[in-house]
Amino acid sequence: MSENTRTQLAQLICFNPAGATLTAEEEAFIAHNRVTSFVLFARNLPDISAAQRLIDRLLTLVGDPLIAVDQEGGRVTRLPSPATHFPSAMALGNTGSPDLARRAGQATARELRALRLNVALAPVMDVNSNPQNPVIGTRAFGDSPDTVSPMGVAWLLGVQGEGVAACAKHFPGHGDTHVDSHHGLPRIDTPRAALDRFELAPFRDAIAAGVEMVMPGHLLLSDLDDTRPASLSRRLITGLLRTEMGFGGVIISDALDMDAVALEYGIPGAAVEAALAGCDLVCPIVQHAETLNALEQALNDGRLTLLQVSESIRRTRRLRERVAALPPPDAAWLGAPAHRVVAREIARRAIRVADADGFLPQPDLSGWLAVEFALGKVTIAEGRPSGTGKLINGLRDRIPSFAGITLSFNPIERDVLEVCQQAENARGLIIATRQALHFPSQRELVRRCCALGKPTVIIALRDPYDLTLFSDARCTIATFDDSPIMIGELLNILTRTAQHLDASHKLK
């Protein structure tokens, strides 16, 4: 096969470097095969200086590449400090403001452009209809298409209005799953008619709004294709997405090293199947050379055609040319004060307080005890998992004598007993859960503490679904994520520095 044909195939690969600097082998592969698309994760961007050096090198090697990152907000962010850490999509959805979503998208795009990144692998257009979903959760704007569609469309229009390409994911909808596709293949048995009304509706609206990229998810939908995951299904990608729904932009695979596809097909094999299904870009993450060889073999044996390769290159080249024509970015956009104002407004309007007895905010928290659970389940999608103890540390910063305990995400009985003994002597309790829905001993500790009859505030620091476990609680707070800006707003509410504990915070 000619070198020219091999370089054409290389344009189907979205390359991910192993670290923050390119190895000599990686540089040789990129330069020799003329790779033109890249995806970067948190490990590639440990700090701003390293990020700038890596991106400089990619631009030197390629000239006008696509460089993509998952910058969703909340628990899936890739940009290091001082970039603005926006609250989660579900926090944004809970504000009910498409205008705020548009402004958040606009600010996100400007910060990406400040680092010369040109593709946001977001928004998540999944409808998180399953509270037990281990991988989507607060990454979704909500649990109804009526929330996800307007908020997701507004966000992507804000992004693309600043020249960055947005990517709607995870087609045709990853919200109603019990399995994390990083570790297994989720199966959804919803009938097609129900999918049309629910899961597919946000993607249809995103396409109508002009979204430039779509990412299929690694999940099997039995009523659409009962043999292949959506990400490798020609029936879903070429048939449903491309032909029936009329999407003419770039289709990019999800990471092909995820167990949902890698265990059965292998990474190079999954890349071939994704390309055959209709993906324009495949993301092997590792085994790039092996993936290129597998694509070459598929072309040699007639499974993959040059016509299909050429069509994919045409679509990605069109996008590359558009983003390459953007005016130079302003480096001051990164972490800009105006963007932090937007993030704080999201936090202020998102937090929900249910306070049956009206004792928040408290004028005096002396003698109170706070218990904060550590983070347990962390999906691989989280490149920068939040630290533990941020709430307690923040309370101590404001009230130096404040008593606080940080516990394991699933504490043993001895620890539960010790906390309950300390709680007996406290004036009031603040208990901050993380994923209590998945950890029985968190639930048990909350139950025992509530039984003491003291003023108790229960806070769901991540998934709001934790609060469904404590329906008898008199005071609850849902934050929708534990990003620094959201924790700051929570501290304002708890320590009476908030000027806005009004109806805007009440649970709907």
Residues in Cβ contact with 468 at an 8 Å cutoff, skipping those fewer than 6 apart = 131, 437
Q: What is the four-CA torsion angle of 9, 65, 48, 168, rounded to 10 degrees?
A: -80
Q: Which three-class secondary structure string do you get for 145-164?
A: HHHHHHHHHHHHHHHHHCCC
Q: How many Å apart are CA 89 and CA 140, to the nearest integer?
A: 6
For 256-312, give the DSSP string. TTSHHHHHHH-HHHHHHHHHHHT-SEEE-SS-HHHHHHHHHHHHHTTSS-HHHHHHH
DSSP run (H or E) holding 120: strand 119-120
Region of 453 (left: φ > 0; alpha: ψ -120 to 50; beta: rest) is left
CA–CA distance, 164 with 69 (Å, rounded to integer): 11
Active-site option among 126, 176, 254, 463: 254
Closest CA relative to residue 496, chosen from 384, 382, 399: 399
Cα–Cα distance measured from residue 152 to residue 155, given in angstroms and rounded to the nearest whole number: 5
In sequence order, the 6+-apart residues with CB closer than 8 A to the CB of 81 are: 47, 48, 335
Count of CB atoms within 10 A of residue 166's CB? 30
Asked if the peptide bond before residue 170 counts as cis, ω within 30 degrees of 0, the response is yes
Q: Note if 254 is an active site residue.
A: yes
d(C-alpha 434, C-alpha 462), whole Å: 6
What whole-number distance in Å separates Cα of residue 326 and Cα of residue 332? 17
Look up residue 189 and give its amino acid.
D
Enter the tokens of residue 49.
Answer: 């200086």
CB–CB of 138/89 below 8 Å? yes
Active site residues: 254
